[in-house]
Structure 1
Amino acid sequence: MIEEKQRIVSPYSMLTLLVPLAGLAFALLYGNILALNYVHVITGGTWTGIDLFMGIVMSRVLKGLEPQARAQVLKKLVPVMLFLMPSLATAAISSGINMASRLGMLSLQSPTIIAAIVIVIILSVQGFGIIMPTEAKVYLELRKKEPNRDKIIRWGMRNVKLAGSQGAFQVALIFVMANLALGIV
């Protein structure tokens, strides 16, 4: 059984929401390409690294745990992921689009830009359309007096596997962006 007394949303989980968005706001207000680039690289790299870690490492770790232990890990993981990942994704995507626009690279005539847009749309649909709503469902289930451990585990494991898929798409996006940075269009 999952303990009801433990706080699900903490000041730390709120901090994970606010820091990337504050960095994005600063870069947008400051208006400097270097600041936008920094926010884009740090949030995009963190987003990619976490997704790869979740898909490659955490999926294996969680599969090896007993259901009670799996539920306890997910209980700790969900609040942070629920706030951190959308914040990282929003900051990475927004800073990247803004930077590309300011540099005059946002052209729908470029196959490389089209590839980047398609991958970002896939990542956004997966992240904001599937993963985030599922994290919210897990969060709401955790708040219940008698949370359904099987639902929490099923939903959490699905998100961990989807995070691995996100990591693969993000690696493809890094390849596309590296080609853009080198002027290979």
Structure 2
Amino acid sequence: MIEEKQHRIVSPYSMLTLLVPIAGLIFALVYGNLLALNYVHVITGGTWTGIDLFMGLVMSRVMKGLEPQARTQVIKKLVPVMLFLMPSLASVAITSGINLADRLGLLTLESPTIIAAIVIVIILSVQGFGMIMPTEVRVYLELRKKEPDRNKIIKWGMRNIKLAGSQGVFQVALIFVMANLALGFV
């Protein structure tokens, strides 16, 4: 029993990290509360950005200094975060942001600021859902094997950590765009 728990990659907590941001979004949308929607957008977007910046700036350097076995263990612990929490944060931040812009009357394709935000969100979505998430699934499936290939796990995990750092840069650019929107520079 203890060995099974130690070997488990995905836990009930993983599902909680998936569902809490989504529940917050549903609450804000169902009750139509603009303040709640803004809060959900800011907290999920800020958390998403913070984790990506941490992954790119800190974890990439920490991982380079670790032995291969330790790298594999760290990547194994990161899989639930990258597979459940990050897609949930990204989806909720994007969905709440679009809803917020629409409710505030800012969602117009005539605005260069909105166009810039859309372009950055598309880049983030392609990276996150088209590159990072499929690789995390591959890492998860590899880790579940009786004899996982450590080299593949490290290669894929390090690539995702670097991509997360790249996402952090795009998210900082998106924050700049949103700050301009908040001040009325549409």
Q: Does 1:17 align with 2:18?
A: yes
CA shift for structure 1 position 112: 0.1
Matched residue type, 2:51: I
Q: Does 1:73 align with 2:69?
A: no
Identity over the aligned pairs, expressed in percent? Answer: 85
1:184 match:
185
Q: What is the rounded CA distance, in whole Å, between the counterparts of 2:137 and 2:174 in structure 1?
A: 27
Q: What aligned pairs does 1:1-185 form with structure 2 within 5 A after superposition?
A: 6-185=7-186
Deviations 1:54-92 (A, max 9, x none): 000000000100000000110111122210000000000
CA shift for structure 1 position 32: 1.1
Deviations 1:99-154 (A, max 9, x none): 11111110000000000000000000000000000000000001111110000000
Q: What is the rounded CA distance, in whole Å, between the counterparts of 2:154 and 2:31 in structure 1?
A: 43
Runs of 4 or more, structure 1, over 6 Å off, are none
Q: Structure 1 length as normaliser, TM-score?
A: 0.97
Give structure 2 stretches of 5+ with no counterpart.
none
- Secondary structure in 1 matching 2:7: coil
Give structure 1 stretches of 5+ with no counterpart.
none
Q: What is the rounded CA distance, in whole Å, between the counterparts of 1:13 and 1:22 in structure 2?
A: 15
Q: What is the rounded CA distance, in whole Å, between the counterparts of 1:117 and 1:183 in structure 2?
A: 17
- Secondary structure in 1 matching 2:56: helix
Measured on the aligned residues, the alpha-carbon RMSD in Å equals: 1.0
Aligned length: 183
Q: What is the rounded CA distance, in whole Å, between the counterparts of 2:17 and 2:78 in structure 1?
A: 12
Matched residue type, 2:96: S
Q: What is the rounded CA distance, in whole Å, between the counterparts of 2:129 and 2:80 in structure 1?
A: 15
Matched residue type, 1:134: T
Q: What is the rounded CA distance, in whole Å, between the counterparts of 1:10 and 1:80 in structure 2?
A: 11
